């Protein structure tokens, strides 16, 4: 009975309407990415094959996927839910996506036995990617929301670093070292804005 009650709880029903069934493929994708991605932060990604992406770009890659998981097909049902509770559910779903992506990548990185700084960078870039995806989903239709994190991913992949030493360009924050205060400050600001917009405005309704 408790399991049945949990399955039909408001949070689970809300998550199902937002794309809960896509959570498992998302976790598998992120874990596979972190298992196979080239591990050196300072190496030019253009010297690697197209399938060997930097760990640093995992957050934006997840963001492309997550951009389709913020809107709902049950807007008519949510209209009867108190606004405060609905905002809490949206924030809970946003945090859940961050946790799903963060844990999946962390497990994969720990299996590889890499330095803990890579795990720190993965969590920071997960906040960046999911936050950017959330903001994009609020400002653009679902069919176009994925283009913002995808464009950021492409730009960081092609132009994110200046040289073979891995020096990041000014706006390529996913390529910054894990202990960069500037990158963390930008990440926190981006995620806070995304969370606020999503809680109060919700994702774009319709295609």
Predicted confidence (pLDDT) per residue in 42-96, tens digit: 444 444 433 335 678 889 999 999 998 888 766 656 666 677 888 888 898 899 9
Dihedral sign computed on CA atoms, order 59, 65, 71, 77: negative
Distance CA 163, CA 190 (A): 27
pLDDT value for 165: 63
pTM above 0.75, yes or no: yes
Do 45 and 160 touch, CB atoms closer than 8 A?
A: yes
The answer to whether 3 and 82 are in contact (CB under 8 A) is: no
- Residue found by looking up tokens 């993965």 in the block: 122
Round to whole Å and give the CA distance between 143 and 148.
Answer: 11
Which DSSP helix (H) or strand (E) runs through 87?
helix 83-112
**Cβ-based neighbour number of residue 161 at 10 Å:** 23
Q: Where are the domains of the chain?
A: 2-201
Q: Tell me, what DSSP letter sits at residue 1?
A: -
Q: What is the spatial distance between Cα 68 and Cα 136, in angstroms, rounded to a whole number?
A: 10
Residue 4 is predicted with a pLDDT of 47
pLDDT of residue 55: 74
What residues of the chain score a pLDDT lower than 70?
1-17, 38-54, 73-81, 163-166, 204-207
- What is the per-residue pLDDT for 54? 65
Residue with tokens 């009650």: 5
What residue has token string 């998302």?
26
């Amino acid at each position: 009975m408790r399991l049945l009650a949990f399955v039909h709880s408001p949070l689970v029903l809300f998550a199902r309407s937002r794309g809960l069934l896509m959570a498992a493929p998302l976790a598998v994708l992120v874990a596979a990415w972190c298992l196979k991605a080239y591990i050196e932060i300072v190496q030019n990604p253009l010297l690697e094959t197209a399938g060997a992406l930097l760990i640093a770009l995992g957050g934006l890659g997840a963001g492309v996927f997550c951009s389709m998981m913020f809107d709902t097909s049950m807007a008519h049902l949510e209209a009867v839910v108190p606004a405060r509770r609905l905002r809490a559910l949206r924030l809970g779903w946003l945090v859940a996506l961050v946790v799903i992506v963060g844990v999946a990548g962390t497990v994969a990185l720990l299996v590889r036995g890499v330095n803990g700084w890579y795990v720190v960078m993965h969590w920071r870039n997960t906040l960046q990617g999911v936050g950017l995806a959330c903001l994009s989903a609020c400002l653009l239709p679902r069919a176009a929301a994925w283009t913002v994190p995808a464009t950021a991913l492409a730009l960081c992949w092609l132009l994110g670093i200046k040289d073979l030493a891995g020096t990041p360009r000014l706006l390529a924050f996913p390529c910054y070292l894990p202990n960069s205060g500037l990158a963390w400050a930008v990440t926190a600001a981006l995620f806070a804005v995304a969370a606020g917009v999503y809680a109060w405005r919700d994702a774009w309704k319709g295609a």
